[in-house]
Structure 1
Amino acid sequence: MPPMPAGAQRHGPSWVDKLKMGALMGGTVGSIMGFIYGTVTIFQYGAGTAGVMRTLGKYMAGSGGMFAVFMGVGSIIRSDADQRALQMWRAQYRTPIIHPRSDMLRSRR
């Protein structure tokens, strides 16, 4: 198979893809946390007039929606950095080069 041409490099995901991925992860985690919290609350205080499934669904939907919004927005904010600025920051704060002991001994002589 011939090598890929130089201009055919794939770019990273768009901000919409990042938003969807963050919202999906947040919704999943939030739904699980809502399930746990709702189950504990139903065991402690009862389901009330709405019933067990509707009460548990409300906890899961509320928690999942909240986490989805926060994670979706957070994934866009975190990954919106300019690559040139990031490379300049890495170049400025990289770890210093430490010479081996033999080089240090030779330089003292």
Structure 2
Amino acid sequence: MPVPVGSFQSGPSCFDRMKMGFMIGFCVGMASGALFGGFSALRYGMRGRELATNVGKTMIQGGGTFGTFMAIGTGIRC
């Protein structure tokens, strides 16, 4: 059976793949930042607002870093 002309499906663009790589990396980095930042802050004896601020900052930093590297790696593969 012949393939109809003009009815092919294209995959996501390279930029869409890089966005998805960043988002996946950001989520993984946030999870690891919560674990490592939480244990580190508890080890230093932080409680309350200080604990939440420190863990939140660690989560954002970990997410941004890992997300950036995942986006770069995905861009290289395009």
- Shorter chain as denominator, the TM-score bin is 0.7 to 0.9
Match of residue 77 from structure 1: 76
Query: Bigger radius of gyration, 1 or 2?
Result: 1
Aligned residues: CA RMSD = 1.6
Match of residue 104 from structure 1: none
Amino acid paired to 2:71:
G
Match of residue 28 from structure 2: 29
Summarize deviations over 1:25-79 as a string: whole Å, max 9, x none: 000000000000011101211238x61111110010000000010001111112x
Instruction: Tell me the TM-score normalized by structure 1.
Output: 0.63
Instruction: Tell me the TM-score normalized by structure 2.
Output: 0.86
Q: How many residues align?
A: 75
Tell me how far apart the structure 2 counterparts of residues 14 and 73 of structure 1 sit (CA, whole Å). Answer: 15
Quick check: 2:18–2:74 contact (8 Å CA) kept in 1? yes
Sequence identity, in percent?
36
5+ residue gaps, structure 2 = none
- 1:19 CA displacement: 0.8
Are 1:12 and 2:14 an aligned pair? no
5+ residue gaps, structure 1 = 81-109
Tell me how far apart the structure 2 counterparts of residues 27 and 53 of structure 1 sit (CA, whole Å). Answer: 19
